[in-house]
Chains A and B, each alone.
Chain A
């Protein structure tokens, strides 16, 4: 480590610039993909986009905001429920999906005033109580008819093909927009605050980071995003049964995706959603053993690989595809691997001191 040469602080790397181009190409390919895919495949891809939204939003909350919630299904259910309500009131069904998500975001603001004062496990189960209560209250709505449920009937005016394509593009657009929003947020000045809170909340507060305000932003963003996901899910499945939408399994999926992918890394949530999607495709038919496997995998990751797949890759190889932080590179040794054992790592990055 020579002190004579000043270190270079960089954000993008050659790989990240290639990755940025690749992302643009992938999105463009996904946009035209329905022309070449079977109807079933289009539906599966739509599900994948929804999973990516769920994972990214839960990761924003837990990985970046340090707020682990096991009640996020409340926003998923509300997203679907408000869409039903708005469509029933005469709004165009596709428009109601997004208006519904905005309503969910608005509802989450007063909720955040209250819930964000809870800490750790208390916040986690507190959110679960909120979800359970909301589920019961939605059941009281005559329109929903209790657990019998209802459906987004007005969507039936569109023929199946149009409906499938439109939902696919809406899901793709929502996913891209939400990821871009999160990416922009994390790269901006708020991003520094978010990572400071993630690494050490008290220390962040002591240097003037607006902890509560930043957390509220993430909480509302996550509510909004998961609201969209719930509304889109409703659009794909048409029927609304409260028990399905307010089921804690949605949060279990989110936790699984983020834990496996890499909590607190932007790319990790996307990778986790892909892994989950593949596992579901291959083993989803295994029923209860599939769920046992998901739970056991989550436990094993939390115990032995708490950084998840992407977090481990990132740490081992210093690879960063979509950089949201900065890294310090000392000149004269640009290609040294991240952990060369003896010297402090020259590629150590600013965002790597977190405790998962």
Chain B
């Protein structure tokens, strides 16, 4: 059982990776990007294409794909989200949902229905494991994934608190108009934030491809996982996302123990329970489900 718990915690690292971009973007721009999961799958396909066609190792491929994702994030914010956010809070939901449909089906058009994986291109890493005391085997990839999540979340936190750019992004997220008054270019800050979020999405997509298989329509479940982990993690710092991811993964692991189809049910159920508890205790409505990660650092 303790073996499963450890596996669950490590899997939580993946959920934290995919969730942090979503909650980061929400906290800065108040937009939930419904194409989030599809973009992660897009990144996974890009790495797969590089690896299978040009024999580029996925780790090296990240050097190409992550900058590409940053450019996509920038472009997305400048040409799509910025414009649709002007039409109110509801329009970006529709825009990004439409975008998700376009991405999913383009991937299907290009790569077909076959499931793919990056596992064959990372050598023995996909199945290597370390033995821990108590005959517990932990996959090296899972540990790397978890460590990446910790480093990424910590790095983002440091970036937001200790750099000029990070502070201007936080200022924009608090109040774009006032930030503009003191000389922060809100449009620029938002576009950079979107670029950063997409880099994290690219990383998440890479790990998705390495640890499991994916297909063109795998984006929707990833979006739900990201959303659930972000909401469970809830208010406060980016570290909440990590806790949210771990809770989600543990619930899924537990669900899988109870019933063969319980993996996903467990995850959704714990999300709803957390939501229910949060709603009945706060009484404030839901403005604060996905809160500013920067608040605690100010």
Are both chains from one complex?
A: yes
* A residues with CB within 8 A of B: 62, 66, 68, 70, 114, 117-122, 124-126, 128-130, 132-133, 136-137, 139-140, 248, 252, 255, 259, 288-289, 291-292, 294-299, 302-303, 306, 355-356
- Give A112 Cβ to nearest chain B Cβ, in Å: 13
Given contacts A129-B268, A355-B88, contact A303 B102 (CB under 8 A): no
**List of B residues within 8 angstroms of A294 by Cβ:** 101
By beta carbon, the residue of chain A nearest B106 is: A292
Q: Which chain B residues (53-98) contact chain A, with CB distance < 8 Å?
A: 80, 83-84, 87-95, 97-98
Question: Does chain A have a CB within 8 A of B137?
Answer: no
Residue among A66, A298, A302, A356 having the largest count of chain B Cβ atoms under 10 Å: A302
Q: Is the CB of B279 within 8 A of A114?
A: yes
Q: What 4 A-B pairs come out closest when comparing CB atoms?
A: A121-B32, A295-B101, A298-B98, A299-B98
A356 to B84, CA, bound (A): 11
A125-B227, A298-B95, A298-B97 given; name 8 further pairs at CB < 8 Å: A114-B275, A121-B34, A125-B32, A125-B224, A132-B264, A295-B105, A299-B95, A306-B87
With A68-B93, A68-B94, A119-B285 known as contacts, the answer to whether A302 contacts B102 (CB < 8 A) is no
The answer, yes or no, to whether B276 is at the interface (CB within 8 Å) is: yes
Assembly CA distance A62 to B279 (angstroms): 22
- Docked CA distance A134–B276 (Å): 17
**Interface presence of B272 (CB below 8 A):** yes
Listed residue (A119, A124, A132, A299) with the most chain B CB atoms within 10 angstroms of its CB: A299
Query: A36 CA to B279 CA in the complex, in Å?
Result: 56
* Contact indicator B224/A129 (Cβ below 8 Å): yes
With an 8 A cutoff between CB atoms, is B159 at the interface?
Answer: no
Q: Are B87 and A122 in contact (CB under 8 A)?
A: no
- For B26, list chain A residues within 8 Å (CB): 121
Interface of chain A: mostly helix, strand, loop or mixed: helix
The verdict on A302 contacting B289 (CB below 8 Å), with A136-B261, A136-B264 known, is no
In the complex, whether B271 has a CB less than 8 A from a CB of chain A is: yes
Q: By the criterion CB–CB under 8 Å, are B268 and A136 in contact? A: yes
Q: Which chain A residues border B228 with CB–CB below 8 Å?
A: 129
* A124 CA to B80 CA, complexed, in Å: 19
Q: Which residue of A lies closest to B217 (CB)?
A: A248
Q: Is the CB of B34 within 8 A of A70?
A: yes
Q: A119 vs B272: C-alpha distance in the bound complex, in angstroms?
A: 15
- The answer on a CB contact under 8 Å between A122 and B265 is no
Assembly CA distance A137 to B105 (angstroms): 27
Out of B84, B223, B289, name the residue touching A303 (CB < 8 Å). Answer: B84
Q: Which of A70, A125, A128, A306 has the most CB of B within 10 A?
A: A125
Using CB atoms, name the residue of chain B closest to A248: B220
- Residues from chain A with a CB closer than 8 A to the CB of B127 are none
| CA–CA, A119 and B286, complex, Å | 6
B261 touches A128 (CB 8 A): no
The answer to whether residues A291 and B80 also contact, given A122-B231, A133-B265, A133-B269 and a CB cut-off of 8 A, is no
Question: Given A121-B93, A255-B94, does the pair A132, B109 have CB atoms closer than 8 Å?
Answer: no
A303 contacts B83, C-beta separation under 8 Å: yes
Tell me whether A114 and B276 are in contact in the complex, defined as CB-CB below 8 angstroms, given that A124-B93, A288-B105, A303-B83 are known contacts.
yes
- Report the interface size for chain B: residues with CB under 8 A from the other chain: 49
Shortest Cβ distance from residue A149 to the other chain B in the assembled complex, whole angstroms: 15
Q: What are 20 A-B contacts defined by CB distance under 8 Å?
A: A70-B97, A118-B275, A118-B286, A118-B289, A120-B89, A120-B90, A121-B89, A125-B34, A125-B227, A128-B220, A129-B272, A136-B265, A289-B109, A292-B102, A292-B105, A295-B100, A295-B101, A296-B102, A299-B98, A302-B87
* Residues in A whose Cβ lies below 8 Å from that of B275: 114, 118, 126
Decide yes or no: A295 and B102 within 8 Å by CB, A125-B227, A255-B97 being known contacts: yes
A306 to B90, CA, bound (A): 11
B95/A125 in contact, CB under 8 A: no
Check: B99 CB closer than 8 A to any chain A CB: yes
Q: Which residues of A contact B101 (CB under 8 A)?
A: 252, 291-292, 294-295, 298
Say whether A117 contacts B87, CB under 8 Å: no
Are B289 and A296 within 8 A (Cβ)?
no
Contacts of B164 in A (CB 8 A): none
Q: A68-B94, A136-B261 are in contact. Are A299 and B99 (CB under 8 A)?
A: yes
State the CA gap A299–B96 with chains docked (Å): 8
**Which of B80, B265, B272, B290 is within 8 Å of A299, CB to CB?**
B80
Complex Cα distance, B100 from A296, in Å, reads 10
Residues in B278-298 with C-beta less than 8 Å from chain A: 279, 285-287, 289-290
Contacts A120-B89, A292-B106; is A140 near B99 (CB within 8 Å)? Answer: no
Q: Are B98 and A302 in contact (CB under 8 A)?
A: yes
Query: Does B31 reach chain A (CB closer than 8 Å)?
Result: yes
| Whole-angstrom distance between the Cβ of A140 and the nearest chain B Cβ | 7
| Cα distance, A356 to B227, chains bound together (Å) | 25
A70 near B93 with CB under 8 A, answer yes
* Residue numbers in A under 8 Å from B102 (CB-CB): 292, 295-296, 299
Q: Would you give the shortest CB distance from A111 to chain B, in whole angstroms?
A: 11
